[in-house]
Amino acid sequence: MFKGITTSKTEIKDILIAWLVIAFVMTMVTTGLGGGFIFGFIIALFTVGVAFIVHELSHKVVAQRMGYSADFKKFTPMLVLSVILSFLGLVFVAPGAVVVRGLGISGPENGKISLAGPLSNLIMGFVAIIASFFVPTAGVKGVLIFFAFVNCMIGLFNMIPFWVMDGKKIFTWDKRVYTGVLVLFFMLYLIIKINLNF
């Protein structure tokens, strides 16, 4: 799967910075700098952070497998703004994105590259929520449900068929694929809601 996938020290640094900032922002908004910050930060690293990074890297892997140059680039001004707003209790997460470069990218190729991100969230969300049904420990169950919810929300947000969002490119490429993925996300959301009632 990862044959032919390339990266660089700059890209790895950008990914790590974006990952840490996402976790920091979410922890600040949910727990603040109080006694629960460290624990909250660790949970955020492995839930929100992982959901976002895997989403972005899925775009990269598919694009590079198609023969295009693709690298994750952090958006420093947005990172700084995200941190500032988190101190005000506001969530604004736009740490960066995968930049795909190449001549002659077709509509179907663009659609498949765009689909990779939400699809990764869909897979991780379903795996997490199904696993939560079989975990007896309340704490672990809660983390799995939260991870599923985060993936569901990130995926659904990116499926908005507008502007430069993944959903716009997927919808333009194949409306049936777009509809099917959207239905699966709403199914995931319903399963999460059902699990919360147990």
**Radius of gyration for the chain, computed over Cα atoms and rounded to the nearest angstrom:** 17
Residue 2 — pLDDT band, cuts 50, 70, 90? low
Q: pLDDT tens, 41-88?
A: 999 999 999 999 999 999 999 999 999 999 999 999 999 999 999 999
Kindly state the DSSP code that residue 165 receives in the 8-state scheme.
S
pLDDT for res 21: 93
The pLDDT of residue 99 is above 80 = yes
Across the chain, mean pLDDT equals 91
The answer to whether residues 116 and 87 belong to one domain is no
Structure tokens at 177: 């694929």
Active site residue 11: no
The Cα–Cα gap between 169 and 184 comes to 18
pLDDT for res 54: 94
End position of a domain, from candidates 69, 84, 105: 105
The pLDDT of residue 9 is above 90 = yes
The answer to whether residues 22 and 53 belong to one domain is yes
The answer to whether residues 146 and 182 belong to one domain is yes
- Sequence-distant (6+) residues with CB within 8 A of 33 are none
Q: pLDDT tens, 127-150?
A: 999 999 898 888 899 999 999 999
- Sequence-distant (6+) residues with CB within 8 A of 27 are 37, 40, 41, 43, 44
Q: What percent of the chain has pLDDT over 70?
A: 97
Among 18, 22, 44, 56, the active-site one is 56
Question: How many domains, the chain?
Answer: 2
The Cα–Cα gap between 13 and 197 comes to 41
The answer to whether residues 124 and 160 belong to one domain is yes
pLDDT for res 172: 95
The Cα–Cα gap between 104 and 108 comes to 11
First to last CA, the chain: 38
Structural domain range at position 58: 1-105
The answer to whether residues 128 and 187 belong to one domain is yes
